[in-house]
Amino acid sequence: MPNNTNTVVFLDTVQYGYGLSVLNLSIQNTDMNCSILVLFWRLQPYVIKMKNSLVCLNTVVRGLIVVVFFTGLINCKEDEKDKPSVVPPPEAEAPEEEVPKLITATAVEYYGALKVVGNQILGKDDKPVQLRGMSFFWSQWIGKYYTPETVTWLKDDWHCSIVRAAMAVDQGGYLTNPETEKQKIYTVVDAAIEAGLYVIIDWHDHYAYDHTQEAKIFFATMAQKYGDKPNVIYEPFNEPMQVSWSGLVKPYLQAVIDTIRHYDPDNLIVCGSPTWSQDVDVAANDPLVGENLAYTLHFYSGTHKQFLRDKAKRAMDKGIALMVTEFGTTDATGDGLVNKEETRLWFDFIEDHNLSWCNWSIADKVESSAALKPNASATGHWTEDQLTESGAFIRNEILAKNPDFE
Ligand code: MG
C-alpha cells in the first residue's frame, strides 16, 4: 500500500485593523513528491479603505481558497495515478528455459561432461541434462545391431542423444567370448563418440558380484581407453536380483568404482540396486562413496507403476541422482501389451525430475518391447513399417522431446 501523507495548512487571517490578510494554503505530499502549493496573498492595499469591500473580499478569498485546495487535491490524485506503485509487482515466475529444437552442436558438445550435484545430473553449464535414447539388446544374442550405421541412424533419424551398449556377461557373453563381446562395445562406443552421443557401457549381468575380478579388468580397460571422453558413462551392474544391497551389491560396486576411478577420475558411473534396479530407496539409505555417482532405475510400465515412482521419489528426496538406463513399455518379461497409458505417466514423472532414459530395446525379437520387426536391417534406414508399436511410440517421444543435434 502506498504511504501518503497529506498535510493541509490553512491560514485565513483577515486582520481589519492592520489592513493585512494572509492566506497560506499548503498541500504537501512527501512520499508522492507532490508539488507544494503555497499561496500567499497580501491584500493590504484594499482592506484599509473600505470595510464593506473588505467583508466582500474576504468572502471571495475564502471561495478562492476552497477552489485552490480542491484543485491541488485533484492534481495530487492525478500524479498518484501516473506514478508506479511503491510496491513492486510480484515477480513473474521465470519460464522454464527450453532447450532449442535445433542445435548446431552435438549432444556431447552441447551438454559437456556430466556431473552429479545433489540429486541431479548436470551439464557443463550447471543445468540439469535430460538425455533420451535407446538401449541395444543383450550383445551375445542380438549383436547384429552393434554397428556404426545403427548408431548413426539412431542419432539422425530418431534424434537420440544417448545409446546403451548392453554387454552380456554370462549366458554365452563376455565370460565365454571376451574379445568378441568387447569388440561389440568398442564398435558402439567409437561410433557414439564419432556421432557426439553419450554412450553407456553396461555390464549386463544379474550376478555381477560372482564376476568381480572380470568386471574390474573389463572396466579398467574401458576407463583407460575412454576415460578422457565425456561421452562415456559406466554402468557396472545392470540388474542385481533380490539380494542384499549393503552385504553384496554395494561391496561389488564399490570395488569396481574404485578401479574405474584409478584411471578415470570423473566420468559418470550409474549403479544398479537389488530387485532388478528398483531398490533405489534402499541404496539411498546406504549410498556408495565417491564422486559423480548416480543410480539406475529400471521399470517396465505394464508391471511397475505408482509404487515404483514412489520409491524413486523417496530415493531422490534422500539426495541420490537417478538415471533410467533401461525401461520397457511392456510387462517386466519384455513382452505383453504395450502400455502407453502407464508409460505416459512415467514420462510425466521423468520430465518432472529431469531424468535421462534409454528404452529397451534395439532388437528384432518377436516380443513387444523390441523396437524393430523381424529382419529389420542391421544398418538402420528402417521404414516406419519396420518399427513395432513400441518402437514407433518411443521414436515419436524422442522426436518430440529431444533437440535435433548436429
Ligand atoms: Mg574422465
Q: Would you state the pLDDT for residue 22?
A: 38
CA distances, 149 to each of 30, 363, 397 (Å):
76, 15, 22
Q: If phi over 0 gives left and psi between -120 and 50 gives alpha, with beta otherwise, what is residue 169? A: alpha
Model pTM? Answer: 0.77
pLDDT, mean of residues 110-118: 98
Neighbours of 95 (CB within 10 A): 6
Q: Is the predicted pLDDT of residue 144 greater than 80, yes or no?
A: yes
Q: Is the predicted pLDDT of residue 340 greater than 70, yes or no?
A: yes
Q: Is the predicted pLDDT of residue 5 greater than 50, yes or no?
A: no
Q: Tell me how far the alpha carbon of residue 120 lies from the centroid of ligand 1, in angstroms.
A: 19
> H/E element holding 360?
strand 357-362
Of residues 223 and 72, more confidently modeled: 223
Confidence of residue 97 (pLDDT cuts 50, 70, 90): low
Q: Would you state the pLDDT for residue 42?
A: 52
List all residues 6 or more positions away from 213 whose beta carbon is below 8 Å from its beta carbon.
none
Q: Which three cell numbers stand for residue 171?
A: 549366458
DSSP states of 309-348: HHHHHHHHHTT--EEEEEEESS-TTS-S---HHHHHHHHH
CA distances, 404 to each of 42, 111, 157, 160 (Å):
82, 14, 9, 9
CA-CA-CA-CA torsion sign (384, 389, 390, 395)? positive
Q: Is the predicted pLDDT of residue 1 greater than 80, yes or no?
A: no
Q: Tell me: the pLDDT tens digits for 149-202?
A: 999 999 999 999 999 999 999 999 999 999 999 999 999 999 999 999 999 999
Q: Tell me how far the alpha carbon of residue 244 lies from the centroid of ligand 1, in angstroms.
A: 30
Confidence of residue 98 (pLDDT cuts 50, 70, 90): confident
Q: Would you state the pLDDT for residue 100?
A: 83
Looking at mean pLDDT, say which of 3-12, 57-66, 217-226 comes out highest. Answer: 217-226
Q: Tell me how far the alpha carbon of residue 21 lies from the centroid of ligand 1, in angstroms.
A: 92
Q: Residue 162 and residue 197: Cα distance in Å, rounded?
A: 5
Q: Tell me: the pLDDT tens digits for 240-270?
A: 999 999 999 999 999 999 999 999 999 999 9
Name the least confident of 51-65, 96-110, 202-216, 361-375: 51-65
Q: Would you state the pLDDT for residue 83?
A: 40
Of residues 324 and 43, more confidently modeled: 324
Q: Tell me: the pLDDT tens digits for 37-87?
A: 334 445 455 444 555 555 555 665 565 554 544 544 444 344 444 443 444
> What percent of the chain shows pLDDT beyond 90?
75
For 404, the 3-state DSSP assignment is: strand
CA-CA-CA-CA torsion sign (143, 144, 148, 149)? negative
Per the prediction, the chain carries an average pLDDT of 85
* 361 cis-preceded (ω within 30 degrees of 0): yes
Q: Tell me how far the alpha carbon of residue 299 lies from the centroid of ligand 1, in angstroms.
A: 29
The residues carrying an active-site annotation are: 239, 326
CATH, range 102-405 = 3.20.20.80
Q: Residue 210 and residue 229: Cα distance in Å, rounded?
A: 29
List all residues 6 or more positions away from 5 whose beta carbon is below 8 Å from its beta carbon.
28, 29, 30, 31
Please provide residue 328's backbone torsions phi and psi, each rounded to the nearest 5 degrees.
-125, 160
Q: Would you state the pLDDT for residue 150?
A: 98
Q: Tell me how far the alpha carbon of residue 240 lies from the centroid of ligand 1, in angstroms.
A: 26
Q: Residue 279 and residue 284: Cα distance in Å, rounded?
A: 9
pLDDT, mean of residues 368-373: 98
Q: Tell me how far the alpha carbon of residue 114 lies from the centroid of ligand 1, in angstroms.
A: 10
Q: Residue 318 and residue 213: Cα distance in Å, rounded?
A: 31
Where do the domains of the chain lie? 8-82, 102-405
Q: Which three cell numbers stand for residue 82?
A: 501516473
Q: Would you state the pLDDT for residue 65?
A: 52
Q: Is the predicted pLDDT of residue 333 greater than 90, yes or no?
A: yes
> H/E element holding 22?
strand 20-29
Q: Tell me how far the alpha carbon of residue 142 lies from the centroid of ligand 1, in angstroms.
A: 30
